[in-house]
Chains A and B, each alone.
Chain A
């Protein structure tokens, strides 16, 4: 649905996007992930024909953004970083204006305005001035205008930025609900967002592509070694000393490292890392119990995308990018 090849965008002083290539299949929901200034907005602006690329090629639904911008624009719904709303318009007036811009008219237009108002939960404020709406409502009006013409592709730039947690959840659910009908690219600098909303993730940093893979694969890939959190407490009269417990844990087969996380006379919490491809939870539990202590808690902490992200963008970004094929799961 979307192909990007060798895309580069240079501003006067900076290279905002540097030789990026990726593909998005029809119906996918893809997270575009990177810290501030990574070049997410710039890439999205190129895809929506707002900015021309300096080099490279981008096509949407088979149409080139430079050669057939009108065809691309017809098929795209775009929510920029700040919702492009007119504060002096009423919600329904605004949606109808955008609908007309996108080529809708007559009863079809009226129907779509009603539909998207319902879908984006702005029907109750349809006769309010947009300037008087809260940030959350304004964001949803922004979403509503993006889908008014039922576009094949939805491009959402930081759709949850600046919202409170409740609004973030509502917006995420809304986006997930849209996933079936549209191909969606959404950008974010917040990692859990991608984990919760997206199937695919494209990670960029400083304008370069760092990784593109399914969220599932990425998590698995980074979880080759597991991290286990163990909470140990003293029982009866058995001697309880952190250093002793720590040494005991270190002796378990397959353990590479033990870190003390939290300690008090009543309990001690350790973070235990395994060697690659070793499963240590059973052995850990047995070691604790056999030493006469209580095992209060034991669970693995799945490596979050955050850690993956740091791993990828931190120590060895070039290698990570090279070995990551960009295919669907």
Chain B
């Protein structure tokens, strides 16, 4: 555990000593803000229209603003994941510092956990950063906070799974760009797999759709914790990290 902490701290420091973390935070914040004000403006417009038509009844902020917003963010996250994981192992392999880690009295899995947790923590920071927007919602409206919290939990779980996949891919090359591009490709695949369910209902299409990380987010966006989806994300995390440790071992035996 202590060793995980050492690696975690080192990775966090290296995110924040370079412009990477600030760039990611800023970009994510801007994109999130854009989505947010779009959703709010739309909400306001629809609200005014329905009042002019004489329709009554208060509209639900959660349904009109938070849910679409969270769904959008879960997709945007796919584009940020590769930038957070591509460096993790590829850079250590390129510069040879992997030899330091591998010859120190610390287990592979501790290195992997430290790095992965650092990436998850950075994603957590990015999510926190977006909370500023919601401060406005709570100031001027009256949304229910629980679905929002569930949505954020879903975002974090989803990112955890994808970050584990990205970590795995980063062990396979010494070239950051390749690691990033491959991770991006895989993230994209995991997203668009869902589309097959739009026109095909056969068993294989259902399996593919099940593998899509996005379908599992829908329940979270609605504010519902569905154990099926939680299990999916947790399994993805475990699988990703397990394969990462296998990958590190096999690289050692092969090279």
Closest approach, in angstroms, between the C-beta of B125 and any C-beta of chain A? 19
Instruction: Check A74 against B99 for contact (C-beta < 8 Å).
Output: no
For A51, list chain B residues within 8 Å (CB).
252, 255
* Stretch binding the partner chain, chosen from A94-102, A199-207, A240-248: A94-102
B48 within 8 A of A: no
- Report the separation of the CA atoms of residues A253 and B67 in the bound assembly, to the nearest whole angstrom: 104
- Report the separation of the CA atoms of residues A2 and B98 in the bound assembly, to the nearest whole angstrom: 24
Q: Nearest A residue to B249 by beta-carbon distance?
A: A52
For A11, list chain B residues within 8 Å (CB).
255
B106 within 8 A of A: yes
Query: Which of A49, A97, A98, A100 gathers most chain B CB within 10 Å?
Result: A100
Q: A84-B95, A101-B3 are in contact. Are A76 and B103 (CB under 8 A)?
A: yes
For B104, list chain A residues within 8 Å (CB).
73, 98, 101-102
For A87, list chain B residues within 8 Å (CB).
95
- Report the separation of the CA atoms of residues A88 and B15 in the bound assembly, to the nearest whole angstrom: 10
Closest approach, in angstroms, between the C-beta of A41 and any C-beta of chain B? 10
For B14, list chain A residues within 8 Å (CB).
86, 88
B149 within 8 A of A: no
Instruction: Check B105 against A50 for contact (C-beta < 8 Å).
Output: no
Q: Nearest B residue to A88 by beta-carbon distance?
A: B17
For B10, list chain A residues within 8 Å (CB).
86, 97
For B255, list chain A residues within 8 Å (CB).
11, 51
B6 within 8 A of A: yes
- Report the separation of the CA atoms of residues A19 and B136 in the bound assembly, to the nearest whole angstrom: 72
B97 within 8 A of A: yes
Closest approach, in angstroms, between the C-beta of A104 and any C-beta of chain B? 11
- Report the separation of the CA atoms of residues A24 and B194 in the bound assembly, to the nearest whole angstrom: 62
If over half of B's interface residues share one DSSP class (helix, strand or loop), that class is named, otherwise mixed; here it is: helix
Using a CB-CB cutoff of 8 Å, which residues 1-33 of chain B contact chain A? 3, 6, 10, 13-14, 17-18
Size class of the B contact interface (CB-based, 8 Å):
20 to 34
B253 within 8 A of A: yes
B132 within 8 A of A: no
Query: Of A70, A74, A84, A97, which is within 8 A of B96 by CB?
Result: A84
Instruction: Check B252 against A48 for contact (C-beta < 8 Å).
Output: no
Instruction: Check A85 against B97 for contact (C-beta < 8 Å).
Output: yes
A293 within 8 A of B: no
B207 within 8 A of A: no
**How many contacts between A and B, using CB within 8 angstroms?**
64
Instruction: Check B6 against A73 for contact (C-beta < 8 Å).
Output: no
Instruction: Check A80 against B96 for contact (C-beta < 8 Å).
Output: yes
A8 within 8 A of B: no
Instruction: Check B103 against A48 for contact (C-beta < 8 Å).
Output: yes
Q: A101-B3, A101-B101 are in contact. Are A52 and B252 (CB under 8 A)?
A: yes
A311 within 8 A of B: no
Closest approach, in angstroms, between the C-beta of A244 and any C-beta of chain B? 62
- Report the separation of the CA atoms of residues A87 and B95 in the bound assembly, to the nearest whole angstrom: 10
B203 within 8 A of A: no
Interface readout for A88-122 with B: 1 if CB under 8 Å, 0 if not? 11000000011011110000000000000000000
- Report the separation of the CA atoms of residues A101 and B100 in the bound assembly, to the nearest whole angstrom: 9
Q: A70-B105, A74-B105 are in contact. Are A84 and B252 (CB under 8 A)?
A: no
Q: Nearest B residue to A69 by beta-carbon distance?
A: B105
For B98, list chain A residues within 8 Å (CB).
84
B76 within 8 A of A: no
For B97, list chain A residues within 8 Å (CB).
84-86
Closest approach, in angstroms, between the C-beta of A32 and any C-beta of chain B? 17
Closest approach, in angstroms, between the C-beta of B177 and any C-beta of chain A? 18
Closest approach, in angstroms, between the C-beta of A257 and any C-beta of chain B? 49
Closest approach, in angstroms, between the C-beta of B101 and any C-beta of chain A? 7
A274 within 8 A of B: no
Q: Nearest A residue to B111 by beta-carbon distance?
A: A101
A270 within 8 A of B: no
Instruction: Check A100 against B95 for contact (C-beta < 8 Å).
Output: no
Closest approach, in angstroms, between the C-beta of A77 and any C-beta of chain B? 9
11 example contacts (A-B, Cβ-Cβ < 8 A) are as follows A11-B255, A49-B102, A49-B103, A73-B105, A84-B97, A85-B95, A86-B97, A101-B100, A101-B101, A101-B106, A145-B100
Q: A residues touching B (Cβ–Cβ < 8 Å)?
A: 11-12, 45, 48-52, 70, 73-74, 76, 78, 80-82, 84-89, 97-98, 100-103, 145
Given contacts A12-B254, A45-B99, A80-B99, 18 further A-B contacts (CB under 8 A): A48-B99, A73-B104, A74-B105, A78-B99, A78-B100, A82-B95, A84-B96, A84-B97, A85-B95, A85-B97, A86-B95, A86-B97, A88-B18, A97-B6, A101-B3, A101-B104, A101-B105, A102-B104
